[in-house]
Chain A
Amino acid sequence: MIKVLKAGLETSIQDYPGRYGYWNQGFPPSGPMDSWSFRLANVLVGNLPGAAGLECQFLGPTLSFDADAVIAVTGADMRPALDGEPFPMWQSVAVRAGQTLALGAARVGGRAYIAVAGAFANEEKLGSRSTFNKAGVGGIDGHSIKAGQELPVAEGGGTPGLLVPNEHRPDIRTDRSWTIEVCAGPNDDWIDEAGKERFLNSAWTLSAKSDRTGFRLEGPEWTFTEKAYKKPKEHGSLPSNIIDQGYPMGAINLAGQTPIILVNDGPSMGGFINPYTVPSAAFWKLGQAKPGERLHFRLVSVAEAQHLAKEIAKRCVRENLVNA
């Protein structure tokens, strides 16, 4: 059992790849936004890469352990401390019963991950332990963790003293600037050439009005092809309106002139166009970007996006760990 002393900012139990198979009924997959860091945390403590762990957002939790455990902290640097002493990240570490792990505010990156050997053993809902906070599904009682809660942990072994070498970690930017891969479509034919050029060549600012549902972007104007204007009135009145359609996860959803990237807890359908889609291989960058940071988009093919995802998966294996 791990007791929550301070919850942090919407800290939640997630597993990977999350709640798959219910998108057609409106359930998003949820899961960790930076699944690269998340999987490495699990691999460090001897779990399967997708086992249930904690996602900490911008401000981390304080947890006390009532039993000995092997744990690992990866992702954003929230300056973790064990009983007040600096706690090494990207390593498996043995903690003793009675010790307290405290994470602070994110200095580098946005989201940190905590894995514990054996993994969290909250009840599965629709095949996943991931928390979908907005609908109250998964996690503990459907929501982010709260102070005073006790988080169940399954029996696990785990070897302390293992380390993820630098070359297998994600490169979390410190210059406030990210290059995010995008695939064209499904509705790129609604944007004219000038609009496409502006999208791909401009710096977009990540709004603070962003969360695990959507990442709102601020930037230049969108302009449209004839298709956006010459359409039956059922499509709606705005150029970016389309008759309700299914949305892919990662869709850059154009609400009027405001693009919103639909992320892990996003909606499965609606009446706006999605000119571009961020592939899963680039989601870790969204998870580590902070409000006010700049996003640049780089067009890739679906094959290239799939290759990137495979390359990330290859890094998240035990064989890559070294002794600390």
Chain B
Amino acid sequence: MPKRLLAPLPGLFYRRPSPEEAPFKQEGDAVAAGETIGLIEAMKSFFPVEAETAGKLARFLVQDGETVDADQAIAEME
């Protein structure tokens, strides 16, 4: 069972730090423990989605800009 990264709170999920910048991570990238893989926007603020453990980001389960619920799986890690 691959490990899944969950949304820490409900809001909008973004893969980039800002619309002009490159995504934090591509599928297949190595991720360090505590590294930010995306942001969730709620109440005019952005909250980082961080990897709990090091590994490889296998795939994203939500699109850039999509609405997420709390604890919704955002990405699969290997």
Question: A residues touching B (Cβ–Cβ < 8 Å)?
Answer: 9-10, 57-59, 104-107, 110, 176, 208-211, 290-293
Contact = CB atoms under 8 A, between A and B. Distances in A.
B43 A290 contact: no
Contacts of A10: 43
20 contacts: A9-B45, A58-B42, A105-B7, A105-B70, A106-B9, A107-B69, A107-B70, A107-B71, A176-B67, A208-B11, A208-B12, A208-B42, A208-B44, A209-B44, A210-B43, A210-B44, A290-B11, A291-B42, A292-B11, A292-B67
Given A59-B9, A105-B8, A208-B11, A291 B71 contact: no
Interface of B: 7-12, 41-45, 66-67, 69-71
A92 B9 CA distance: 26
- Sorted from nearest, which 6 A-B pairs have the closest CB atoms? A292-B67, A105-B70, A208-B41, A211-B43, A105-B9, A208-B12
Contacts of A110: 10
Given A208-B44, A293-B67, 11 more contacts: A9-B43, A58-B11, A58-B43, A106-B9, A107-B69, A107-B70, A208-B42, A208-B43, A290-B67, A291-B41, A292-B66
B72 to A, nearest CB: 10
Contacts of A106: 9-10, 70
A293 to B, nearest CB: 8
A58 B69 contact: no
Contact of A292 (B9, B12, B43, B45): B12
A290 B66 CA distance: 13
Q: Which of A59, A176, A293 gathers most chain B CB within 10 Å?
A: A59
A110 B67 CA distance: 14
Given A58-B9, A105-B9, A9 B42 contact: yes
Contacts of A9: 9, 42-43, 45
Nearest to B14: A208
A209 B10 CA distance: 13
Contacts of B11: 58, 208, 290-292
A291 B67 contact: yes
Contacts of B66: 292
A285 to B, nearest CB: 16
Nearest to A77: B70
A324 B33 CA distance: 44
